[in-house]
Structure 1
Amino acid sequence: MESETAGRVNWPYGNSQTAALIRDFDWSRTSLGNIETWSQALKTVVDLILVSCFPMVVLWGRDLIQIYNDGYIGIAGDRHPEAMGQAARSYWPDTWHINASICDRVLQGETISLAGQSILEAHDRSRAENSFTLCYNPLRGVAGGIEGLLLTVIGTPSDYVVESGLWEGEGRYRQISEALPQIVWSSDASGNVDFFNSRWFAYTGLRGDEGYSAGWKRTIHPDERSHTLETWSQALRTGTPFEVEYRLRRADGSYRWHMDRAVPVYDAQGNVVRWFGTLTDIDDRRRAEEALRESEERFRQFAENSSAVLWVLDVETMRLEYLSPSFQQVWGEPLDVVPRDFAKWIQSVHPDDRDDVVAALARVRQEGEVIVKEYRVVRPDGTVRWVQNTGFPILDERGKVRRVAGIAQDVTKHDGSMVYVVDSNEASRQNLSLLLQGAGYQVKTFSSGQAFLDVAPVLVPGCVVLDLHAPEAGELTILRELKTRRIGLPVVVVGEAHGNVAFGVQAMKAGALDFLDVPYEQKQLLDAVASAQASIRDIAERDQAAELAKARIAALSAREREVLERLLTGGTNKTIARDLDISPRTVEAHRARIMERLGAQSLPELVQIAMAAGLKQGSRSMSDADR
């Protein structure tokens, strides 16, 4: 007997029929799994319905498994106790086409109330004349997402009437409340809190009458107090369930986030006579969410500033959920037109490499391997790029591969020998192309400046030869556009200035690396192009340094980023400490870590690295005395 008792589950508490049924039920046969593994959120709502005098049903999980209280037994009728643990679809097969749409709306966060419903008709025709109001409310899990819904039945049956003399289950309610891990409270119909379990007083340190209504208001963090009290007032006015998150002051003066939930209790006439609620500590969850948001922000900054392509594929739908902006540079297609369906995307891979790519992805999906694969992609303009792709699995909580993510890098060998000729005159365009090809350059021609600008963001590094046939030609706007878009392609301008020096000056001011007046010697053009090719290598080195700096800055924590930004505006340890409400010593520690991570030996070098990454330096001076 002792071993049998020791192995039994002692939750949920209480001697009600449904509490005993829940304890003895084999939940492993359902999608909820063993009762020992249930989340605290599910346990809390089960505890709440079991002490309610109203019929209440919890529908939880992907199958909307039913868990109900004693008040619902009369409604379940001859389906009790088999209704316990059933999926909602199985319990309501005849009306599921109606209930399914209601459940879907509630699971999206909507609260629904339906009056005048005779739900007993299918179970007990003798009571079909009773009219009920059905209240559906979404239920959130420990991570904040909606994981189920609560159905409350409001009507006139005598088995859940609240007698006029505070409630017949009060003693049992108070006894159970002491066994719960949450703070449990109740109030009268006007919202005056008249009961807390002992956990409230242990947490807040309040004693006696000060711990009730007025005490509750004072313990709410000032930033959330107004919203919380307004939400509570609205619940009192409308008689709808109350749910809000706020920080609650602890006895030592610190604050922790709590979720406050309460449901109304009605009398036989449908009037609210009491409120029952719980306060659940969710501080750890909130901190985890904040850390996740910070991590996601760092990922976003890294992805947007990286020259590598980051991608995520949903293996169930086989759709690309995410592609970083660098995709356009490598694949040569804007993100807004890229097919997200894998079967269509794979068409961009060179035909000779597709089977290998599909096989590599299958190994990641099915075996959870990390695969490094090189393959070719064919861009819309017909050029071919070599890509090195590292794919790895992302597992769900059951260890199953839910997504495949990866990092793709362009490993095409660029020797800087590409020249882009922009010339509206077909004859001179062909002559320039032949001259440059004869000198060993790869040449791609464009008949208009707009045609060139349309594809400029995705072109491989190279030099641009822009042939203007008259000083008044509008092609100089190409130079300004390249500068505005920060496209680092050096431009050599050739044109007929007819002795007008101002035209050449204008071209140089607009951003040309060199200007050649027609007629010019072929050697002059080849020398100018060779000089431009050398500048490409310099640009590549600077870009590489900038990319490295961007990646390192993106990896900084939010606090370190704040310190860095204030250092760039001339902030000192003291002023930064004051702005961020931290100590100067903490600022110094952050500053040391920032310099270490960015590889800076001094503050001026740190400023240079940050500026190379695109951050701007402020105008305030930074004196050594201040530092």
Structure 2
Amino acid sequence: MSQTEGSSKSEIPWPFADGVMAEAIRAFDWPSTELGSIDTWPAGLLFAIDMMLGCAFPATLQWGRNLILFYNDAYIPLIGTHHPHALGQRLLSSFPEIAAIYPPFAQRVWNGERIVLEDQLFHYTRNDVPEDRWFNLSYSPVHDRDGSVSGILAVGLDTTAKVLAELERSTADTRLKRVLETDAVGVIFFDYTGTVVDANDVFLRMVGYSRAEIETRTVTWRTLTPPEWVKVSEEQMQKFEQTGRIGPYEKEYTLKDGSRRWMLFTGRDLGGDRIVEYAIDITRRKEAEATSKAMEERFRALVEASSDVVYRMSPDWKEMRQLQGRDFLANTTEPERTWLEKYIHPEDQAFVWATIQDAIENQKTFQLEHRVLQADGTIGWTFSRAVPLRNKDGEVIEWFGAATDVSARKRAEEALLRSEKLATLGRLVASISHEINNPLEAMSNLIYLAHRSEGLPEEARELLQLADAELKRIAHITRQSLGFYRESNVPADTSVTQLLESSIDLLRGKINTRHAEIHCRWQDDITIKAVAGELRQVFSNLLANSLDALETGGQITIRAKRYLGKDGAYVRILFLDSGRGIPLETQHKIFDPFFSTKGNLGTGLGLWVTKQIVDKHHGSIRVRSRNLPPTTGTAFQITLPA
């Protein structure tokens, strides 16, 4: 039997996009960077770069906590002389002018928040010239498989022309009037010493001061700022000296009554010793964020404490809305409509879905123990339980469930059952051995007496010798087969080729019945240290299995060869048949005790015993098989140290 293996691979190197930046990424010396060779990059990074390169708008990918920068072709005109040197560098190292304002945005995204900014102003240097640019921006977290954030995907649209046009259409007085009349935005005017010289009514209501108190010029940004936030404000003032701008940044403000409120600030220089600053009360948002964070922490604690996996399903169970666990199943944070095929064992899918439909129809708790496809590709067991969540009208809006990994318990149950079977088998073998030994001893004595008879033909003498050898083998099997050894066996110099020939002679009758062709492929006598009777049992088992798999007139090839490996000499024995083959789905079970492909005709112990003997001789046994026409057959390969 032969097997041809091949594959067809795309000749297009990653990344698969065209363009300047795709080529630059391919040519970049990544092994010299902290990211290392592209071959070591995680799949999430590769996927995110593909998405970024395919975006028609200016886009960047900032990877890792150091914000390693990738960008697409549309982004090149925006950064001028920074291209191409910014590729693969830390964002804030390449663009130090945004180092003060960007980290708060980045941190929010690292916390899992998606940020959309319209007409956001950036003051940065392009082509060595300071420049103000406005953008509509979207910052999105890039998640890893475990739900953690690995990077930031930023997509922007330059709105500078639009913003400047709008600014040109409005006079400074009109803009100021509109700002002062805004109900939700507080406006404060400072002089360069930090003293509040004016404010709109919104800000006065925010902080609790009267206009008369403002006019006394005794209220400053320092009197409004809690001690722990003074340093942050001083850093903003240093930034103002360099750029003429403040913020945007968040901090707490101390009100007149001593209470505190969270506010978002941004401002700029108006000239003439005046600074305008805009304030938005974000206390409710901060409280909501804190509440949400606390709830999320409690939820995660619940997952860790009570179950391996929690999940949320749509009312009809056709959409998985969330799956969170600990490496038991591959997690998903986006709606997943193929969850049944992705996670549930194929043989259990119909039963699981029927149980779900019953729970939906009767609006009762769903609970079931079934097999699942685990994250590492293996098959596991889970106990799953889900309850319906209802709205105020009693309608089911979602199912919330938990699944416990019970694979270890299932394996323990299977191991216990297997141990009990083996114990029963051991008792049975001991009983059979006791009953067989007496007639075997009598037959051995009779053969001995017949062999000593005078005038015995040489052919009969050889047959008696062969019968005596086989009786000894039967006695050996009763004592040692199936792994229940009761005496030590000392390896000795053993001819592998002679054992193969004797195994063929032993099964000659079966070979003739099947009209099988046996092809022996060895040149010289091959000798190793082994227990001869045990190896004969191995060879006889494999040859008998090959004969059972053959159709009438099939072929069996037996090869034996000595060769040198890296750590010494080895002998390789190959049994190759043209039989029906072994199905792929059962090949991994053939060495398990009590597993048989012969139905009621097999005990399921032959290959298990064979592997035990090969392992005892510090060897290995491998199988390859194909059961799909036109080419079928099986090859067993045994490798033994010589």
TM-score (norm 1): 0.35
Which of the pair has more CA radius of gyration? Answer: 2
Q: TM-score normalised to the size of structure 2?
A: 0.35
